[in-house]
Amino acid sequence: MVKGNLVVGQSGGPTAVINNSLVGVIHQAMASDQIEGIWGMAHGIQGMLQEEFYDLRREAPLTLEILRNTPASALGTVRYRVKEEDYARLVEVMKKYNVRYFFYIGGNDSMDTTHKIDTVAKSVGYELYCIGVPKTIDNDLVLTDHCPGYGSAARFVASAIRNTAFDTEAMGDSGPIKLMEIMGRNAGWLTAAAALARAHEEDAPHLLYFPERPVSEEKLAADVEQVYNRYGYCVVGVSEGLRNEKGEDFGTAGPGDVDAFGHRAKLGVVEAVAEVIRKHLGIRARFDKPGYLQRSFAELQSPVDRDEAYQAGGEAVRAALRGETGKMVAFVRMPGPVYTVDMKLVPLEEVANRERHLPDEYINAEGNGVTPAFLDYARPLIGGPLPLYARLSKYMVPKR
């Protein structure tokens, strides 16, 4: 095994636990004699192109420990899409700095980058070990049971919609319809996680709408009306990627959207759904757009997710030291009643640029909620039940 330096980078949208994967890489690398420098790329692959590396061996152990509680990418992240001509340059930089171990924590774009670096290094005969560490709140990577980052985002979303639902229920007729816009432009995994807020049949969220199931204005309004008539209030989780039955984004159609210059002024998805409810039911819907809190709210890290993110970083280093390259760490759920996972390696090229959508068996027949199978899948990932809330039994005092 060749001795040399290690680089690690973080890419794409941050998560609440992504630094756990970074620290997992650092801790495991420190235990190896093969690895000399342990370097972080500043803002992912951009740092490599600009030869900007942080010396992670010099960081205080306590800093690394506290980083595990700290949201977002401590190395900085990047949205830069690597160009074909960059790859030769990247391998050249690695030669110059004797980088022999390359770890990239990211989603499917990052796995594509890692795969291409591996391919180019092989083609020029440069000995390099490249391993991808999965990360995405969208949970849309293929060949893995789930992705680090998802469990914590799922816990936040379930908790957030439950809190706002209690608020909505309390308001009664003063504000009976509440919408929450949930991240995931192409995949409904995070929207589906909102269902983990429910303990009873009548609990919120009552309706969930996914990118995988386009819905017409009429159907959506009828769904809301039915829930409102039954329970007196209605809480709806709406994916930011929701489309109507014509495949158009919610929020692009309808009168009033063209401004004085003829520009089509796009409403946000949740504003568009509120407008549908106003138009069809004559009720003002209120809404929350927690936005980037969904991926950064570190107080609600899932302990399972946090631990798995750390383990995935360590496993990546162990795999590289076994001589593996061109692979991504993936999670395999073990059969049995107790949640346990194992890790394996999958080929980067089969992960790169592919998306895993919410499968049919996890979406109910109406296309407006999840199945029990989804709840069984997702519940262990949020790392324990949400805190217990109570309702009054409401024994009525007899009227006089």
Q: Which is nearer to its own copies, 139 or 168 (CB)?
A: 168
Selected range binding its own copies among 82-90, 167-175, 312-320, 370-378, rule: CB under 8 A: 167-175
Closest approach of Cβ 121 to its own copies, in Å? 18
| Amino acid letter, 113 | T
Q: Which is nearer to its own copies, 12 or 211 (CB)?
A: 12
Q: Which is nearer to its own copies, 167 or 225 (CB)?
A: 167
Radius of gyration of the chain (CA): 23
Rounded CA separation 331/320 (Å): 17
Answer for the pair 287, 274: CB distance below 8 angstroms, yes or no: yes
Closest approach of Cβ 38 to its own copies, in Å? 10
Active site annotation includes 138: yes
- Binding to its own copies in span 43-62, by CB under 8 A: 43, 51-56, 58-60, 62
Asked if 211 is part of the footprint of its own copies (rule: CB under 8 A), the reply reads no
Rounded CA separation 201/206 (Å): 9
Tell me which of 86, 112, 118, 138 is the catalytic residue.
138
Nearest Cα neighbor of 90 from 136, 121, 65 is 121
- Binding to its own copies in span 64-123, by CB under 8 A: 64, 66-67, 69-80, 96-97
Question: Given candidates 20, 21, 110, 164, which one binds its own copies under the rule CB under 8 A?
Answer: 164
Q: Which is nearer to its own copies, 71 or 369 (CB)?
A: 71
Tell which phi-psi region holds residue 252, choosing left (phi > 0), alpha (psi between -120 and 50) or beta.
alpha
Asked if 388 is part of the footprint of its own copies (rule: CB under 8 A), the reply reads yes
Answer for the pair 198, 204: CB distance below 8 angstroms, yes or no: yes
Q: How far apart are the first and last CA of the chain?
A: 88
Q: Which is nearer to its own copies, 83 or 263 (CB)?
A: 263
- Binding to its own copies in span 176-205, by CB under 8 A: 178
- Binding to its own copies in span 279-308, by CB under 8 A: 286-293, 295-300
Residue 49 has a CB neighbour count (10 Å cut-off) of 18
Q: Angle at CA 192, nearest 5°, toward 113 and 294?
A: 60
For helices 18-30 and 303-321, angle between their N-to-C axes, nearest 10 degrees: 40
388: phi then psi, degrees, rounded to nearest 5: -70, 130
Q: Please work out the total of residues on this chain that contact its own copies, with binding judged by CB under 8 A.
A: 86
- Binding to its own copies in span 8-37, by CB under 8 A: 10, 14, 16, 37
Q: Which is nearer to its own copies, 142 or 293 (CB)?
A: 293
Peptide bond into 205 cis (omega under 30): yes
Answer for the pair 264, 257: CB distance below 8 angstroms, yes or no: yes
Closest approach of Cβ 91 to its own copies, in Å? 15
Q: Which is nearer to its own copies, 163 or 364 (CB)?
A: 163
Closest approach of Cβ 48 to its own copies, in Å? 12
- Binding to its own copies in span 248-267, by CB under 8 A: 255-261, 263, 265
Could you give the string, one character per residue 325-364, with x where binding to its own copies holds by CB under 8 A and - elsewhere?
----------------------------------------
Tokens at residue 332, please?
Answer: 């395999």
Selected range binding its own copies among 124-132, 222-230, 302-310, 391-399, rule: CB under 8 A: 391-399
Q: Angle at CA 267, nearest 5°, toward 261 and 273?
A: 145
Rounded CA separation 31/388 (Å): 42
Asked if 170 is part of the footprint of its own copies (rule: CB under 8 A), the reply reads yes
Answer for the pair 36, 5: CB distance below 8 angstroms, yes or no: yes
Closest approach of Cβ 96 to its own copies, in Å? 5
Closest approach of Cβ 35 to its own copies, in Å? 14
| E strand or H helix at 231 | helix 217-231
Question: Given candidates 172, 347, 359, 372, which one binds its own copies under the rule CB under 8 A?
Answer: 172
Closest approach of Cβ 40 to its own copies, in Å? 7
Query: Residues, the chain, total?
Result: 400
Residues 18, 23, 28, 34: is their CA dihedral positive or negative? positive
Tell me the catalytic residues.
138
